[in-house]
Structure 1
Amino acid sequence: MMSEKDFIQNHYNLAIENGSFQWSAPSNIALVKYWGKKDNQIPANPSVSFTLNHCKTITKLAFAKKENDGTFSFDLLFEGQPKEDFKPKILKFFQRIESYCPYLKDFHFTIDTENTFPHSSGIASSASGMAALAMNIMSLEKVLNPNISEDYFNQKASFLARLGSGSACRSVKGEVVVWGKHKEIDGSSDLFGVEFPWPVHPDFKNYQDTILLVDKGEKQVSSTVGHDLMHGHPFAEQRFLQAHHNLSAIKGVLENGYLESFIKIVESEALTLHAMMMTSMPYFILMKPNTLEIINKIWKFRSETQIPLCFTLDAGANVHVLYPANVKENVLQFIQDELVGYCQNGQYICDEIGKGAVKCN
């Protein structure tokens, strides 16, 4: 089993002077949620997610050799323009990963990043952003140490991404990704995400995710604060057990194509996530009235048509509508007819399952 020490290398060839890489990495949406974490970005319970395809961050990392004066040196651009308010998060990330990437202080970096989804859309970009940056850093490491294997490259990229944003570790590789140690999933780890190790039923291939943008504003409670509120939460231990149970259950569901069971697990997980927020101290509500209107409309439509669409939520007000590709036309018509009016400015994004990070050059 891999440990943190396995990601510390001591042999780097620092002869390279400059260069650049570019990677894209997608966002992901958890089916079984993680909420609550231990020190050093370790999840309190395992999770499993669909990797998305179109909602992604594209990041170019240019590097130039400098004197190692004990400091990190980087410029940060967002869509080609300096973005000073992003720099503290990147600096904190570099500080967290320095012991695993000791060469960072030997280079000046220019990080130029952009999202394929609208800025301030309410879609969390930390997962895709940190995953894309981690892939670029590992491309540099591969130049400095050509002997590392592809598996090591991907595992360490996921490991590094996790230290920037927990869920980012699920955006590196794979259509369905498990993060967190689970007794029934060989190779599962709290340190990095792993591909779902069994074949996924054809009904879940090319699964669709239409994201309804209910509220594009900044959340009143950050995910970091929300995770911390699970410490001492009266229902925390039962919730962690529930997540293990649901991951066991959804394993068979994804293998066998049990859409009805999939719907029950995914919707229950979404509502449980928000129940944890509403019962923490202090308590908070991230759903909006239109979130609830959409949920009720989905339940009514599913009951009347028997079309197997369902919803999930992240730690916010937006609604992810999940459904098989073979009912896409009917579901999109339903969204146009009945749900778009609950979206801010009528905005929604159509996405589907993707395969993870991709090198662009």
Structure 2
Amino acid sequence: MTPKDFIPIQEPKMISSGKVTWQSPSNIALVKYWGKKENQIPANPSISFTLNHCKSTTTLKFKKRKKTDDFAFNFFFEGKEKEDFKPKIEKFFERIESYCPYLKEYEFEIYSENSFPHSSGIASSASGMSAIALCLMSLEKELFPEIEEEYFNKKASFLARLGSGSASRSIAGGLVVWGTHENIEGSSDLFGEQFPYKVNKIFKNYQDTILLVDKGEKQVSSTVGHDLMHGHPFAAQRFQQAHDNLSKLVNVLESGDTSEFIKIVESEALSLHAMMMSSQPYFILMKPNTLEIINKIWVFRKETGIPVCFTLDAGANVHVLYPEDQKDNVLEFIKNELVVYCQNGQYICDQVGSGAKIL
């Protein structure tokens, strides 16, 4: 598919007003995307677990109006109007207007809330922007009733990507690939696709306990971090590493080889942060407690043989990944040895989920 495929060519129905609510999850990348080209195209492919409990619930109210040159919308977060988030939505609307030409014919009220603490370092842009994209697609489905489910989901992911790259991976459930990869059929830079090959049952309900090491705002945003990959001395090698690791994961996900899974996932997390530490300007998003947790996980894994590992997003918090049948053992370990490194002792228990749903 090409971007042109997402431009409506039919005559829309007349829809005067309405309301729709979508719930969309966050996700955690196993192979990381870091660095992007124009129009939110990833510099390398990535794959993520869609989460289950960490999600945004978004309601879109829309009312027909006379078309003007401006977008008309208000945004409310957890019941309060949030002016500081409006520029991000404005930019999102500008990026998607050619694919959603009806945007300026409606005034919108957007109400959003998260199931996880605000500024907890969980990717709220992924869940939030994908939820808005899905709400807009529900309006589009009313305008163009002949839209089929496959097209609906692809375009929702396509639009979400233009709001936040990782949001493209929050539509489908389970394992989602975003970015063209020669060994993964159907993979695309334009939208996320559910991983198309066999997945061992051990990875279908994998657990993710998120340790909230630092809930403060990052000193460097992900957008700035991505831009620093332009001219980065190790960019080409990093992009190739991501391709190679995704190739390896195809076999690992089918076989259920947790040992190889751990090597790839932890290497990816550390490579992501190595890129930050070697960019110009350089920066460090890990905190001392991040490193303490990583070392504790390594010792615990060596002493017990339990296949628990970590991954990191672009921040200080640690995602602890492990099979469901080790849940009791790992949660005991977290309570006894890792909670002390969490801000206010906070952590969130999550697991692989089934994707976004309409309410």
Relative to the length of structure 1, the TM-score reads 0.99
The gaps in structure 2 that reach 5 residues or longer are none
Tell me by how many angstroms 1:14 deviates. 4.4
Q: Does 1:350 align with 2:349?
A: yes
CA distance in 2, matches of 1:8, 1:240: 31
CA distance in 2, matches of 1:228, 1:91: 21
Tell me by how many angstroms 1:16 deviates. 1.1
Match of 2:252 in 1: 253
Match of 1:98 in 2: 97
| Contact kept in structure 2, 1:174 and 1:196, CA below 8 Å | no
Please say which of residues 121-130 and 312-321 is displaced more in the overlay: 121-130
What secondary structure is seen at the aligned counterpart in 2 of 1:102? coil
Number of aligned residues: 359
Please say which of residues 11-20 and 30-39 is displaced more in the overlay: 11-20
Match of 1:112 in 2: 111
Match of 1:220 in 2: 219
CA distance in 1, matches of 2:132, 2:304: 43
Equivalent residue letter for 1:10: I
Match of 1:297 in 2: 296
Tell me by how many angstroms 1:126 deviates. 0.3
Once the two structures are aligned, what percentage of the paired residues are identical? 71
Residue pairs, 1:1-361, within 5 angstroms = 2-360=1-359
What secondary structure is seen at the aligned counterpart in 1 of 2:102? helix
CA distance in 1, matches of 2:74, 2:222: 26
What secondary structure is seen at the aligned counterpart in 2 of 1:22? strand
**Cα root mean square deviation, aligned:** 0.6
CA distance in 2, matches of 1:96, 1:13: 21
CA distance in 1, matches of 2:66, 2:201: 54
What secondary structure is seen at the aligned counterpart in 1 of 2:210? strand
Equivalent residue letter for 2:257: Y
CA distance in 2, matches of 1:82, 1:173: 29
Equivalent residue letter for 1:342: Y
Cα deviation code 1:279-321 (max 9, x no counterpart) = 0000000000000000000000000000000000000000000
| Contact kept in structure 1, 2:213 and 2:343, CA below 8 Å | yes
CA distance in 2, matches of 1:265, 1:303: 17
Cα deviation code 1:229-253 (max 9, x no counterpart) = 0000000001100100000000110
What secondary structure is seen at the aligned counterpart in 2 of 1:139? helix
Equivalent residue letter for 1:285: I
| Contact kept in structure 1, 2:30 and 2:49, CA below 8 Å | yes
Equivalent residue letter for 2:155: K
CA distance in 1, matches of 2:260, 2:306: 14
CA distance in 2, matches of 1:220, 1:12: 47
Tell me by how many angstroms 1:216 deviates. 0.2
